[in-house]
Chain A
Amino acid sequence: MAAGKVLQSDLPLPMLDLSKNYFELFGLPAEYQVEIPALRDRYRELQGAVHPDRYATGSDEEKRKALQAAAYVNEGFDTLKNPLLRAQYLLSLHSINMELREETTKDAAFLMQQLEMREELEALRHTGEGLDSVGEFMDRVSGMIKALVSRISVDFETPSKENLDDARETVRKMQFLNKLYAEAQAVEAQLEEEFG
């Protein structure tokens, strides 16, 4: 633990109170740019304090609370480290709550591209040589997701209404790509079973 050069009262108090937001929990400013190694360090410290393994000989009550707290810390970590979830979460802090099922992009060119990529994935499903190609396909999707992440970063630097709307639209697209990635994973699993 670092030296105590800061007074305790100056510190953010991370509570197990589920109404506290994840940025507060991890002692981070509510911004899109997150330094992952720092996030990771905070995460380890928090888990070090609340993980159920710290209460293995404790009462049922302590175990239950530890379980809850550890799950909450994990959820916060997963949200802040994942670019899509973080964007969505940050938008919700700007009072833009996305009902993901109802959100859909109207960008025709993007949708057309998605359609083509889906067909491509379907084709890969039916060939034994598809396994490596599915890997390459997934790498391509990851690349596209990364490009969207950069765009969102820029939007959140100046969170004007216009930029937040753009971030929202980008999140919608990212949602498509994430789903496509998950489907590619499923195809991969199927191919592994059949040809692996």
Chain B
Amino acid sequence: MALLQIAEPGEAQAPHEHRLAAGIDLGTTNSLVASVRSGTSQTLPDNDGHHLLPSVISYSEEGILVGRQAQKRATTDPLNTISSIKRLMGRGIADVMSLGEQLPWQFADSEASVPRIKTRAGDVSPVEVSAEILKCLNKRAEDSLGGELSGVVITVPAYFDDAQRQATKDAAKLAGLHVYRLLNEPTAAAIAYGLDEGVDGVHAIFDLGGGTFDISVLRLTRGVFEVMATGGDSALGGDDFDHVIAGWIMQQAGISNDADPMIQRRLMHAARHAKEALTEADSTTVVMQLADDSNWQGELDVETLNTLIDPLIRKTITACRRTLRDAEIDIEEIEDVVMVGGSTRVPRVREKVGDFFKREPLVSIDPDSVVAIGAAQQANQLAGNNPDGEMLLLDVNPLSLGLETMGGLVEKVIPRNTTIPVARAQEFTTFKDGQTAMAIHVVQGEREMVDDCRSLARFELRDIPPMVAGAARIRVTFNVDADGLLSVEAMEETSGTKASVDIKPSYGLSDNEIADMLTSSIAHAEEDRDLRRLREQQVDAYRVIEALQAALAVDGDQLLSADERAGIDAHLNSVIESAKQDDVGAIENAIKQLESGCEFYVERRMNAGIREAMAGHTVSEFESSEDDSK
């Protein structure tokens, strides 16, 4: 039920024109793009018929290579070939170092908090690398769908924190994509699965990918997907299985820890190969070419593999237990457990998950493509192509958000598993007489001490009027939007002193950095930038005009008095007139005027929408209710 039905610019007569939209699964190991065509959501192949795009970028002498071509260069040009970049998204340099010594690239020494990898094309950040993958998928989608995408849904692990989500959104911006929504991967899988099967009830989605692990418990009721709790580990996945197997090979073959990048690549390759072979066989022969070109050969059997990976699987089970408790759900209440992500192909994972949930996990859907398929369905609905669609996703924030208080303790403001969007305020006070400034430190995590949580941002509230200790009332409001992104606002209530920040610092890119990247990436584009801005502004204006006219046609007469209507029409006409001219500022201004002039109308429409949703119910239906099931 879009409030204002909007048509494609230039297609004013066809308000229900199909908009091209896609779902993107930006994975650690592989990425996919999917779209709804003729009512069915399907992943889109490249020219060679491959659906999976390996998430690998190679900065070669001839230019940037993506996917299979890049993958081929992994062992021959390891320093310029980057894989599993998702593990570095939104991470600081210190985090990256702690991920392990297996990373074969060289990092630039830099003042910035974001790690930059040295390549022959210069130093690149994880956001830029991810943007290359997104650009490639965008092109694939535009080629197969035959037009520019109006928007995309990009999936992220449910357990991604704020910095990791922001980094993903930055990458999309850099790739020139309009993001309708960041969608949690297990929720995307649930859409694909739920809409297929149409089963109401409580479901668990166990999603073990290349580098991330999520567990989500959600309730499906007539098209509404309500996430009850989510848990996981944003640095745990099939890559870790490979690492422990690689460790075993090193030990068996007598390879030292400081082996060069090429040997490390071979090790990872051999490890992955062995892991994959053992999904079918009980034992496999591992062959490893050593530095002196001699070959080492050994046998790895399933029992040894299981011993190696059991500690990692145990971590996933612990997270499942915790998530069930957060959801206040007993194992018996769960209808089924859906397995998502390539790493759920490992038999030991299925066995352990089955043991824990006391039922055979569902593996009927291709675990690689299910996330992209669900994302495409959501994108299609958000684009307005499915106006009667009842589907609604109610997701949660995966990690508690809090503030540092005295003694390095964390005061939680929004606990984990709170349904988003959410706005919540907390009051603080000064602890010294005459204190005029207060530092605010925002953290994310479950631990009690600030040092054990992830630092998201610091900012300072100044100009607090001097008062005795404890007299000031500082109200800090956290807002988390539907993408799970946080913004914070602080105000001293007795004086009205205000400070507000968008959270994108500690490990994110600054707005300037993004702007620089954007400018450098469009520098080669031929369009005159001013002309482009004008075009965009005109398109915006037409969009607003269309939308408003459509809305007025539906309920303008019911909701507006003649005077009010005349006022809106006047604003509308000035937008129409300005859009014919080529003054960008004037158009912008006219749109602004119109939007503020229509504010009350928008509000009335929304209220009418709620009323409609509530129609058919009365208070008396509930007056006799006796029991409190909570």
- The chain A residues found within 8 Å of chain B, CB to CB, are 1-6, 8, 10-16, 27-29, 32-38, 40, 42, 44-62, 65-72, 74-75, 77-78, 81-83, 131, 135, 138, 149, 153, 182-183, 185-186, 188-190, 192, 196
Contact = CB atoms under 8 A, between A and B. Distances in A.
Contacts of A16: 603, 606-607, 610
Contacts of B222: 44
Interface size class of B (residues with CB under 8 A): 35 or more
A188 B151 CA distance: 41
Contact of A58 (B6, B481, B612): B6
B616 A6 contact: yes
B532 interface: no
Contacts of B619: 12, 27-29
A54 B388 CA distance: 11
Interface stretch (B313-321, B489-497, B522-530, B559-567): B313-321
Contacts of A153: 628
A27 B393 CA distance: 23
B1 A54 contact: yes
Contacts of A74: 418-422
5 contacts: A2-B616, A58-B2, A61-B596, A67-B479, A183-B448
B630 A83 contact: yes
Contacts of B625: 33-35, 38
Nearest to B222: A44
A6 B617 contact: yes
Given A8-B615, A56-B384, A15 B607 contact: yes
A71 B477 CA distance: 12
B448 A186 contact: yes
B127 to A, nearest CB: 24
Given A1-B613, A42-B614, A54-B1, 10 more contacts: A11-B611, A28-B619, A32-B628, A48-B1, A48-B390, A56-B384, A57-B19, A75-B422, A82-B630, A196-B318
A84 B544 CA distance: 45
Given A36-B630, A46-B610, A54-B1, A4 B419 contact: no
B630 A149 contact: yes
Interface in B114-130: none
Interface in B601-627: 602-603, 606-607, 609-619, 621-623, 625-627
B471 interface: no
Contacts, number: 206
Contact of A36 (B6, B482, B612, B629): B629
A82 B613 CA distance: 24
B423 interface: yes
A44 B419 CA distance: 12
B221 A44 contact: yes
A56 B615 contact: no
Interface of B: 1-4, 6, 19, 150-151, 180-181, 221-222, 224, 226, 314-315, 318-319, 321-322, 325, 381-384, 390, 392-394, 412, 415, 418-424, 446-448, 452, 479, 481-482, 544, 547, 595-596, 598-599, 602-603, 606-607, 609-619, 621-623, 625-630
A172 to B, nearest CB: 19
B2 A57 contact: yes
B482 A58 contact: no
A105 B3 CA distance: 50
B7 to A, nearest CB: 10
B413 to A, nearest CB: 13
Nearest to A196: B318
Nearest to A38: B622
Contact of A53 (B382, B612, B616): B382
B606 A49 contact: yes
B447 to A, nearest CB: 6
B422 A59 contact: no
Contacts of B381: 53
Q: Is the interface of A mostly helix, strand, loop or mixed?
A: helix
Nearest to A33: B628
A125 to B, nearest CB: 10
A52 B602 CA distance: 14
Max chain B C-beta neighbours (<10 A), residue from A50, A59, A72: A59
A27 B622 CA distance: 9
Counting from the closest, the 7 A-B pairs by CB-CB distance are: A2-B616, A56-B382, A35-B625, A189-B446, A49-B613, A49-B609, A45-B613
A71 B611 contact: no
A3 B606 CA distance: 21
Contacts of A2: 615-617
Contacts of B321: 135
B447 A186 contact: yes
Contacts of B151: 56-57
Contacts of B6: 57-58
Given A49-B1, A56-B384, A186-B447, A78 B606 contact: no
Contacts of B2: 54-55, 57-58
Nearest to B317: A196
Nearest to A51: B392
B446 A185 contact: yes
A138 B617 CA distance: 39
A67 B481 contact: yes
B628 A56 contact: no
Given A35-B629, A36-B630, A70-B482, A65 B616 contact: no
Given A50-B609, A56-B181, A62-B4, A45 B602 contact: no
A167 B181 CA distance: 43
A89 B626 CA distance: 19
Max chain B C-beta neighbours (<10 A), residue from A33, A45, A49: A49
Max chain A C-beta neighbours (<10 A), residue from B151, B394, B421: B421
A60 B412 CA distance: 30
Nearest to B315: A196
B538 to A, nearest CB: 16
Contacts of A40: 221
Nearest to B318: A196
A54 B622 contact: no
Nearest to A52: B482
Given A44-B226, A52-B421, A65 B603 contact: yes
Nearest to A70: B421
B283 to A, nearest CB: 30
Contacts of A196: 314-315, 318
A44 B224 contact: yes
Contact of B419 (A33, A72, A77, A131): A77
B571 to A, nearest CB: 13
Contacts of A78: 418-419
B627 A35 contact: yes
Given A8-B611, A62-B602, A78-B418, A27 B3 contact: no
Given A62-B602, A70-B482, A53 B181 contact: yes
A192 B605 CA distance: 49
Given A38-B625, A182-B412, A54 B3 contact: yes
B610 A50 contact: yes
Contacts of B629: 35-37
